[in-house]
Structure 1
Amino acid sequence: MTARYWRVVLVLLWVVTGCDSSEGKGDAGTVVEDGGAREDGGTPEDAGPGDAGTDPLACEKQHGVCAGARRAMVDGAYEPECTALSYGADYESAETRCDGLDNDCDGVTDPSFASRVTNLDMPYVDGLSILRTDQGVFVSMSGNGVRILRLNTDLVLQGTGTVSMPWTRKDAPVGVSYAAKLLRTQDGLALVYATHGPSLGPPFHAYLVPLDAQGLPKTGPEGDLLEFPLVDWQGDGRAPRMATSPQGDRVVVVWRTGTEQTPPFQVMGAVTDLRGQVLVAPKVLFTSPERKQPWPSDVLVLRNEEVLVAVNDESPALGGDTVRLRRFNTHLDPVGDERSFELAYGAAPRLVELGATRGGPLESPVLLMRSRVGPPWVTQVQVVQNLFSGGVGETWSEVPTPQVAWYGALADEGVLRLAWLSKHKDYGAPPPGGDSFLGWEGRLWTQDEGHASADRSPTPDLLPLHAHAQWVLMEKLAPRQVGALYMTSTVEGSSLDAVRYCTP
């Protein structure tokens, strides 16, 4: 008999008897490689029809890291529904990684996640800061006392603490808490906050409160709040800004003093250690021209220990802003020449230290500010690098009038990242609930250095915003993942919302 005859007989026997029971089986937990259609009906019932052509061993998901995935065999049987055993080590049932892959195989790579962090007892406009430590992400919010939220890196609320004001704890004149900031010190996390008297009047005080690892205020031997006075200024004080030195052993506080009734307008500065020991007594840093009101905008202590202060001189009747920038030594004496930038009203300047990867101590800080240009009129967020060698503004984000951009910034391992609310209001429409502070709407945007802006709004609908929604807090949460926190408001109240997103 010919060889062809025997080949035909063998094929017929294979069809009648089926494959050997061991054929097509691999070791437990491995993917079988033959995967051809079997005429004995031995394929898994739940194999997704059409997921990978006619392959009966194809997994249900075939996008992203699941492309080409086939069912693994476990204890002698194919998985009835594919799991990570079939899909591989890069698979996640719900995507959390920022690795440039579609890990949950839904066709979307590195999606953003929106969440509601907590309801707020009031719409906040000041005393907001954010800082991440090994124990969590902390947020401060200043109102009747300073509220401190502790979040995990998914921006889920884990706990809250409160720093009460002096007049509620001891025999002290009633005042108003005005600003607060979370700072990293050589002794750990701390809160620095400032107060003034009623109606923005004197006196002006600043305090440091050490916090424990959970963001709760530390207490002294008698169980009372541990608190160190930093500034005791008997004049009026407004717009305080605070910063710590790179070593975390000194605190710099700057503020504005003077009124139209008690000129001149001046920007003051002082330096103390962490226990309130005065290192530099309050002294004048800037004096503004007549009729211009200076507002301290930001302060940084550079890596060479110099202090960099940004001040915004506002002209009367919204006539425009002059952003002034100057360095000071450790004694708060001026160093070098002052720089200034002429802008439209509402410049909202801010300083960001990008760190050693961007050069020396005088090369790494950048200035951000808003500018209104046109026609057609648009609001831009500009970034100025090389501050002390003639750098000029580079336009990043841009929103058309009548929208306004309120932005936040983050230095992420030498890379500058922005987030902002572009908001506007239809003044011809009746305000929700009759509240004139409501009725603002907008969207949340982000932009990473070297990349185009991205709309991070959680839904296609415009965000309901309050007039006080003039901030976005940013913090790094994990490698290539950033959180942006902002406030939304309706007639039912205000909320702290968040978006977690992946960076390029």
Structure 2
Amino acid sequence: MSPWGSVSLVVALLLAGCGSSSTSPDAGTQVDAGVTVDAGVTVDAGVTDDAGTVDSGVAEALPCERTQGVCAGAKRAMVDGAYEPVCTARSYGADYEAAETRCDGLDNDCDGMTDPATWAEVAPLGTPPTGSLVDSLPVAGGSLVVSVAGQDTVQIRRLDESLALQATTQVPVAPGVDPVTSVRLVRTSRGPALVYVGRYMSPSAVSQGRLVQLDEQGNPVGPPGGVVILEYPQFPVHAGVATSLDGQRLAVVWNVVTEDYRETQGLVVDADGKRLSGPWILFRTQEHVLLSTPAALALGDGGFLVMVVEDHGPESQSRIRLWHYNSELAAMSAERALDVGNSPTATLLSSAPGAGGTPGEPLLLYRETSARPHQLKQVRSLFTGGVPATLATASEGDTPWFGATMTSRGLQMAWLAVHSVSPEKTDDSLFNWEGRFWALGPNGIAADWSPGPGPMPLHRFSQWVLMQELPGHWMGALLMTATDTPAETHTLQSVRYCAP
């Protein structure tokens, strides 16, 4: 054999040996810095993905302390080579919260309650304000709440987005007012503003309405006492106010009562309070009826919807009257009347804006007391034949006192379902009333969000609800509870509830 043949044989044998001695990667071989591909070996900083198995030689993880809601079935996670002694979100998962803050349809803190409501006392109220003496307005980071205490004390409270009290401001009113008869908060092109109406006895008996500019914290700016925007030689006057969609104009409407007739009057001022048109007589009747609930609503065409309620007595029906006026309240283009049960506590809202930001349509909301049990109604297409639709029905024997607002998620409504504590009592005590808090969202399902199993103590003349949209699918509401035991107290209460 030649030398070259021997060399070829050696090379062939060497190549064959290399092919037969290959070695598979060993399980657990490190493939990245600090990370292994074998089950039971660290895959995250200090946390293992093995809950303990017979094969791994690690004891099986024990169940966590919490067993309800998103915690159901959770077992302890291993951290730094040992199981958590007390389970945290590492064990319970991403939906867990030690204190529930989310409105997501889950029991995040595993206490057996899903998205519970949160109640809190906001502030004491010196005297019980009626519905015409309270109002609220959203501002950046929270809301402003105005209320009247006594004859001439107007207070504005600044609340944050959790409805916690941040500050209280007393608004100076014009000297001599006795009493303030109505307050409303609006937003103009200049920012937040307060419109209040009061009775003045000197130098002559007159009712005046004044416009007070506010900053975003609720502090008055401009002339002390505000600018006079209406004056009428009669009292008391309760005014309804609406701001045009561009914030440049305010429509103010009020009712007038004389021996011979009843009237609804109105005027328009600019954002500084300067008179633009009116006062005009918007409606007159010679019937001896009680005109109540004067209100206005800005419309997409620049005009205003005006509403007034004719009450014909406690045993008779009421009539809700609606008119579509132009931007100066000088010409009417449409009207409608609806006969409803007594004391409908009607209110006006605009539906959510349409595609491209087009203004929403006007809505009428009211309480139908001729039905048993009482119902909450809505009417759309007000001047084109729209008919009332039932939104909710109160419990038998309860009277609903409601508030409503249009949110980014649609119509939100809440009410106090009220009844007398002792129906057989004849003294009609101011504190002989109690009720529960209910709310209705766009899903059409009413929920009882009362703070406990029993009803809340209420005042006869202060059964109102103010509503506020809050971040994260939450809604907020404000109401007043009242008691005369052991001492007479009136308390502004807040509730934060889930309304997806």
How high is the TM-score relative to the length of structure 2? Answer: 0.84
| Superimposed CA distance per residue, residues 477-501 of structure 1 (whole angstroms, 9 cap, x where no aligned partner) | 1131101211111113111112211
* CA distance 1:132–1:435, change in 2 (3 Å): same
| Superimposed CA distance per residue, residues 420-443 of structure 1 (whole angstroms, 9 cap, x where no aligned partner) | 111111445669xx9820120111
CA distance in 1: counterparts of 2:199 and 2:480, whole angstroms: 25
CA distance in 2: counterparts of 1:29 and 1:232, whole angstroms: 75
Q: Which residue of 2 aligns with 1:161?
A: 169
Query: What SS class does the counterpart of residue 220 from structure 2 fall into?
Result: coil
Quote how far apart the aligned CAs of 1:356 are: 1.5
How high is the TM-score relative to the length of structure 1? Answer: 0.83
The answer to whether the 8 Å contact 2:403/2:464 transfers is: yes
Say whether 1:413 aligns with 2:408: yes
> Aligned-pair RMSD on alpha carbons?
2.8
Report 1:221-300 matches (<5 A). Answer: 225=224, 227-236=226-235, 238-260=237-259, 263-300=260-297
Report 1:46-85 matches (<5 A). Answer: 55-85=60-90
| Superimposed CA distance per residue, residues 450-470 of structure 1 (whole angstroms, 9 cap, x where no aligned partner) | 422111111011111110232
CA distance in 2: counterparts of 1:414 and 1:339, whole angstroms: 29
The number of equivalent residue pairs is: 455
Quote how far apart the aligned CAs of 1:65 are: 3.0
Q: Which residue of 1 aligns with 2:380?
A: 385
* CA distance 1:321–1:93, change in 2 (3 Å): same
CA distance in 2: counterparts of 1:321 and 1:197, whole angstroms: 31
Q: Which residue of 1 aligns with 2:36?
A: none
* CA distance 1:39–1:296, change in 2 (3 Å): closer
Report 1:262-411 matches (<5 A). Answer: 263-316=260-313, 318-357=315-354, 364-374=361-371, 377-399=372-394, 402-411=397-406
Q: Which moved more, 1:244-253 or 1:74-83?
A: 74-83
CA distance in 2: counterparts of 1:34 and 1:218, whole angstroms: 64
Query: What SS class does the counterpart of residue 354 from structure 2 fall into?
Result: helix
Say whether 1:92 aligns with 2:85: no
Q: Which residue of 1 aligns with 2:212?
A: 209
Point out where structure 1 has 5 or more consecutive residues left out of the alignment. 1-21, 44-54, 168-172
CA distance in 1: counterparts of 2:67 and 2:41, whole angstroms: 22
| Superimposed CA distance per residue, residues 203-237 of structure 1 (whole angstroms, 9 cap, x where no aligned partner) | 121112122222122256xxxx3722222233445
Say whether 1:127 aligns with 2:125: no
Q: Which residue of 2 aligns with 1:14?
A: none
Q: Which moved more, 1:355-364 or 1:315-324?
A: 355-364
Q: Which residue of 1 aligns with 2:188?
A: 185
CA distance in 1: counterparts of 2:89 and 2:356, whole angstroms: 44
Quote how far apart the aligned CAs of 1:39 are: 11
2:373 is matched by which residue type in structure 1? V
Query: What SS class does the counterpart of residue 470 from structure 2 fall into?
Result: strand
Say whether 1:150 aligns with 2:158: yes
The answer to whether the 8 Å contact 1:141/1:180 transfers is: yes
Q: Which residue of 2 aligns with 1:503?
A: 499
1:33 is matched by which residue type in structure 2? D
Quote how far apart the aligned CAs of 1:161 are: 0.7
The answer to whether the 8 Å contact 2:293/2:346 transfers is: no
The answer to whether the 8 Å contact 1:139/1:149 transfers is: yes
The answer to whether the 8 Å contact 2:302/2:326 transfers is: yes
CA distance in 2: counterparts of 1:329 and 1:34, whole angstroms: 72
Say whether 1:451 aligns with 2:444: yes
* CA distance 1:198–1:384, change in 2 (3 Å): farther
Quote how far apart the aligned CAs of 1:399 are: 2.6
* CA distance 1:453–1:31, change in 2 (3 Å): farther
Quote how far apart the aligned CAs of 1:275 are: 1.5
* CA distance 1:446–1:174, change in 2 (3 Å): closer
Query: What SS class does the counterpart of residue 92 from structure 1 fall into?
Result: coil
2:498 is matched by which residue type in structure 1? C
Larger radius of gyration: 2
Q: Which residue of 2 aligns with 1:50?
A: none
Q: Which moved more, 1:323-332 or 1:205-214?
A: 205-214
The answer to whether the 8 Å contact 1:32/1:71 transfers is: no
| Superimposed CA distance per residue, residues 277-307 of structure 1 (whole angstroms, 9 cap, x where no aligned partner) | 1111211111124212322432111122110
Point out where structure 2 has 5 or more consecutive residues left out of the alignment. 1-38
* CA distance 1:23–1:316, change in 2 (3 Å): closer
Q: Which moved more, 1:70-79 or 1:116-125?
A: 70-79
CA distance in 1: counterparts of 2:45 and 2:268, whole angstroms: 67
The answer to whether the 8 Å contact 1:150/1:158 transfers is: yes
The answer to whether the 8 Å contact 1:192/1:208 transfers is: yes
2:370 is matched by which residue type in structure 1? V
| Superimposed CA distance per residue, residues 133-178 of structure 1 (whole angstroms, 9 cap, x where no aligned partner) | 11322111123321111112221111111112211xxxxx443111
* CA distance 1:282–1:403, change in 2 (3 Å): same
Q: Which residue of 2 aligns with 1:476?
A: 469
